[in-house]
Amino acid sequence: MKKMYIGALSLLAVVTLAACGSNGETESSSSSVDKTDKVIKVASQAPPMTDVVKVAAEVAKEDGWEIELVQVNDNVAYNDMVSSEEADASFAQHKPFMEKYNSEKGTNLVAIQPIYDAKVGFYSKDYKTIDEIPAGTKVAIPNDASNEGRALAILEEQGLIKLKDGVGVNGTIKDVEENPKNFEWLQVDLLNLAEAYSEPNVSLVYNYPTYIAKIGLKPADALFLEKNIDQRFTIQLVAREDNQDSEKIQALKKAMTSDEVRSFLEDDHSDTLVPAF
């Protein structure tokens, strides 16, 4: 009986040690996986942002990193993915748009690195000069606050409206003090603004090169562009507060600001954008 008891204890000790050993190996294996995780997930929405990510991915390979592009269909999903940690970073927006998302969602996204400035402005299917634009016509502008303010500021640059003093790019249609041509405001989601171009009685449509390209237009076709590019609206690499200093984000930043990316921007897209690094 005593021998059986001792044997049972010995067996228990072996099982316990084996279990400890198994846990130790699992933890070690998990730690090893973490250390060798070389995949950087980047959420983006449309060219040329997605193209820039692809160029950066080729550069990152040289340092042993894999940049995985996660392409989404709207201007919310890429922020949702980063804030929920489904993606490490995004490349699709300017800082004011990101800040608006943070204030609405209570998130902590941060702008990591400016990459390029887009040439934005207004397009018209019917008119070749500002003087031709009739009174009482419709003007299509973005319906999100950050882009709405920029669009109105460009109209003020051209002398078409007068905003309240000091509002600058933070203005809304409520801040329009003078509207001599009695424009009717058509507020449209940024992704759908290009469609407004063909709508009847819409004389002016604000847009980015990214979105106006789908109807075959580019900045050279604009009736007028922003006179001086406002670098508050530079398209940025965005991450979270908790991962902004991580090895992954530093590797991503290095690839996104490489000579190869600069050459891509300067050689292939000089008519639509300007490098910002």
Q: Measured on CA atoms in the order 190, 192, 194, 197, is the torsion positive or negative?
A: negative
Distance CA(259)–CA(273), nearest Å, equals 16
Q: Are strands 89-94 and 39-44 parallel, antiparallel or unpaired?
A: parallel
Burial class of residue 1 (count of CB atoms within 10 Å of its CB; 0-12, 13-18, 19+): exposed
- Give the H or E element holding residue 202: strand 202-207
Distance CA(60)–CA(91), nearest Å, equals 16
103: which 2 tokens? 């204030």
> Which residue type, as a one-letter code, is found at position 57?
A
**In this predicted structure, what is the pLDDT of residue 8?**
41
**In this predicted structure, what is the pLDDT of residue 6?**
40
Distance CA(93)–CA(98), nearest Å, equals 7
**In this predicted structure, what is the pLDDT of residue 98?**
97
**In this predicted structure, what is the pLDDT of residue 115?**
98
**In this predicted structure, what is the pLDDT of residue 23?**
44
> Which residue type, as a one-letter code, is found at position 259?
D
pLDDT in tens, 110-154: 999 999 999 999 999 999 999 999 999 999 999 999 999 999 999
The overall longest dimension of the chain from CA atoms, in Å, is 108
Q: What length is written for the chain?
A: 277
Residues contacting 121, CB < 8 A, separation 6+ = 154, 206, 207, 219, 222, 223, 224, 225, 226
Query: DSSP 3-state assignment of 71?
Result: strand
Cα–Cα distances (Å) from 146 to 172, 252, 266, in that order, read 9, 26, 27
Q: Which residues of the chain have pLDDT under 70?
A: 1-36
**In this predicted structure, what is the pLDDT of residue 206?**
98
197: which 2 tokens? 């171009």
pTM of the predicted protein model: 0.81
